[in-house]
Structure formats: structure tokens, C-alpha cells
Amino acid sequence: MSNSLGEIAQVIDAELVGDPERLVTGVATLKNANTSELTFLANPRYTKYLKTTAAAAVVLSPENVDDCPVNSLVSNNPYLAYVKAVRYLNPEDTFSPGIHPTASIEDTATIHQSAYIGPNCFIGKNVKIAEQVYVGPGCVIKEDVSIGAATRLVANVTICHKVVIGQRGFFHPGVVVGSDGFGIANDSGSWLKIPQLGSVTVLDDVEIGANSAVDRGALENTVIEEGVKIDNLVQIGHNVIIGAHSAIAGCTAVAGSVTIGKRCMIGGQSAITGHITIADDVIITGLSGVTNSIKKAGMYSGAMTSTDNLTWRKNMVRFRHLDEMARKLVELEEQIQIIKKRSEKS
């Protein structure tokens, strides 16, 4: 399949400088694109590859047009324009509806005739699967779950009882939604499990990455609002609320009862302590430990960044005595004041 540059320019709302009839068959990097491929330039780091690109066309910003040896698709946001082109050239795979003969479906489940249920899946009692839903091989959907239209579960996904999932969701292999929250109470030295009576509500257009887990609430629901994007191996504790259009990168832990605002971005391997609130439009850079509520939009950080081992060792030893250092500093300051006064007197 191929598309003309004229058609693409219209779709991505870019100005074409070049041949509208030229056809492209796919996308590639600026460095490696061949003469039938579309590419883009958004990061100045790659400008060096522009002059020698063999691409059919380059999506780029106005200031790079003159240096482009091939067709240009000019946009003030070339990365976004390129992404729109990629999406246009690579629509989601279609699938044939139907229920694989090895799937086990409870009688009371309702599955829309345009949905697909793959091999070795289990669909529990009273489950509702809407139109165009794709449930890949090995998925387990327990009783009373509802899955909205056009949502995709790639493979080996587990959705626990009573979870409600919106439309156009995308759940990668190994995802678990609705596992019990970590609710335990100490009773004379041993732990009593607290029944987790809430569920999980996942709104529309949510994507959750491979092997991530979202716990069900203790009393009320854990809520993932619309458009939230969660990467791989992320833990979302019980009763967390994640505001619309927030994005959370891999290996991050969000402890129970945290409320995250809308449009937040949380870097990978971060951790957010239980029961705190993060305002809208907060950016937390990777590896940060957030232990207090954040009340204002802005960027926050807390990583210990690495150095050569010897420097780190020496600095860490000092860190363990940082309070003493600070006290010593105050002491020296006082002594100097005394000396200065004395010398002024003399």
C-alpha cells in the first residue's frame, strides 16, 4: 500500500514543499529511510543526517526547509505531524470477529458479535464485552467485568471481578487489573487480610504496559481517568486516582490512596508514598521518591544520580555525617563572628 504526499500533507495539516503525487510506502529514521519512505526531523541532534537523507519526504519545521534535499512536509510541530502521519500510514490491525473454540465462556456473559475472543481465554459470569473488543490468547476476565468498545487486551491479561473498563483501551501482555490491594491489619503480631470490597474503574483511551498491576480499592474504587498512559511494570495501589491524560513511565510504584492530578508526567522508577496528592500538570523526573503532597504545577525531582564508584563512596560516607557538617559550619560561622568583632575592637 502507498499514499501520496499530497494526501499525507492534508491529513497531518502540513505544508508540502515538493511533489504531491510522490508515493510513500512506510516510515523510517532520517538516517535509514529509503526513497519510498517518509521520515522526520524534530531533534536538532539529528540535523546532520538531513543533507544526505534518501527519504521520499521529511516532516520538519520551517527553519529546516532550505536544507532539505528532498520533499518537505513543513509543520510548526514536526514531531506531532510525523506521529499523525505514522498513525495514518499504519492503522491498527483489523481482526475477524468470533470466539475461538478453545475459549471458555460462561453462559451469562454477553459478547458483542463484532468482538474477538482468542484461544484459551476465560470469560466469567455476567461479563459484558462491547463491540470491536479484542481479547487475545490466554486472557482471563473474571465475573461481572465490563469492557467498552474497541478495547484491546493483547494476550495473557487478567481482569478481576467487577472491574469496569472504558472504550479504546489498550492492555499489554501480563497486565493485571483488579488484584486485591495490600490491605492488612496487625493483630497481636500477625496480619489479618482486609477484604478489598472496592473495584477498579478504567475510563476511555487508557493504555497499560506489560506486567503492570492496578489494585482494586478497599471500600471505594481505584480510578484511572480517561487518556491515562501507563508504561510497563508499574504498580498502582488501591484507591489511587490518576487524573485524565497523565502518563507514568516504567517501574514506578504508586502507593495506596494517592491522588494524581490531570496531565501529570511521572518518570520511570519513581515512587509515590501513600495518601498524598499531586496537583494537575506536575512533572516528576525519573527515579524520584515523592513523600509529600505537591500542591503546585511544576517540575519536581529526587534522584540520586550516579558517578564513578570512588567519588560516590567518598560522598556517601560524608552524607552519613551531613548533619554534623552542618552543625560544624554554624559553629565556625560563630567563631569567625567572634574573631571579627574582637579584631574590630582591637
DSSP character for 294? B
Is there binding between residue 315 and a second copy (CB under 8 A)? yes
Is there binding between residue 35 and a second copy (CB under 8 A)? no
In this chain, which stretch among 1-9, 28-36, 54-62, 63-71 interacts with a second copy, using CB under 8 A? 28-36
Give whichever of 20 and 313 is closer to a second copy, judged by the CB atom.
313
In this chain, which stretch among 2-10, 53-61, 127-135, 170-178 interacts with a second copy, using CB under 8 A? 170-178
- Residue by residue, DSSP assigns 170-231 as EE-TT-EEEEPP--EEEETTEEEEPP----EEE-TT-EE-TT-EEEPPSSS-EEE-TT-EE-
Write each residue from 191 to 210 as x if it is in contact with a second copy (CB under 8 A), else as -, in one continuous string.
xxxxx-x-------x-x-xx
Q: SS in 3 state form for 67-95?
A: HCCCEEEECCCHHHHHHHHHHHHCCCCCC
Distance CA 255, CA 274 (A): 5
Show contacts with a second copy in window 98-137 (CB under 8 A).
100, 102, 104, 118-122, 136-137
What is the residue whose three cell numbers read 513511565?
Answer: 249
Distance CA 205, CA 187 (A): 42
Is there binding between residue 97 and a second copy (CB under 8 A)? no
Is there binding between residue 96 and a second copy (CB under 8 A)? no
Is there binding between residue 345 and a second copy (CB under 8 A)? no
Show contacts with a second copy in window 137-156 (CB under 8 A).
137-138, 140, 142, 154-156
Is there binding between residue 273 and a second copy (CB under 8 A)? yes
Three-state DSSP class for residue 277 = strand
Give whichever of 20 and 35 is closer to a second copy, judged by the CB atom.
35
Give whichever of 19 and 273 is closer to a second copy, judged by the CB atom.
273
What is the residue whose three cell numbers read 521520499?
Answer: 56
Give whichever of 20 and 192 is closer to a second copy, judged by the CB atom.
192
- Residue by residue, DSSP assigns 255-270 as -TT-EE-TT-EE-TT-
Is 100 considered catalytic here?
A: no
- Residues annotated as catalytic (active site), given as ranges: 238
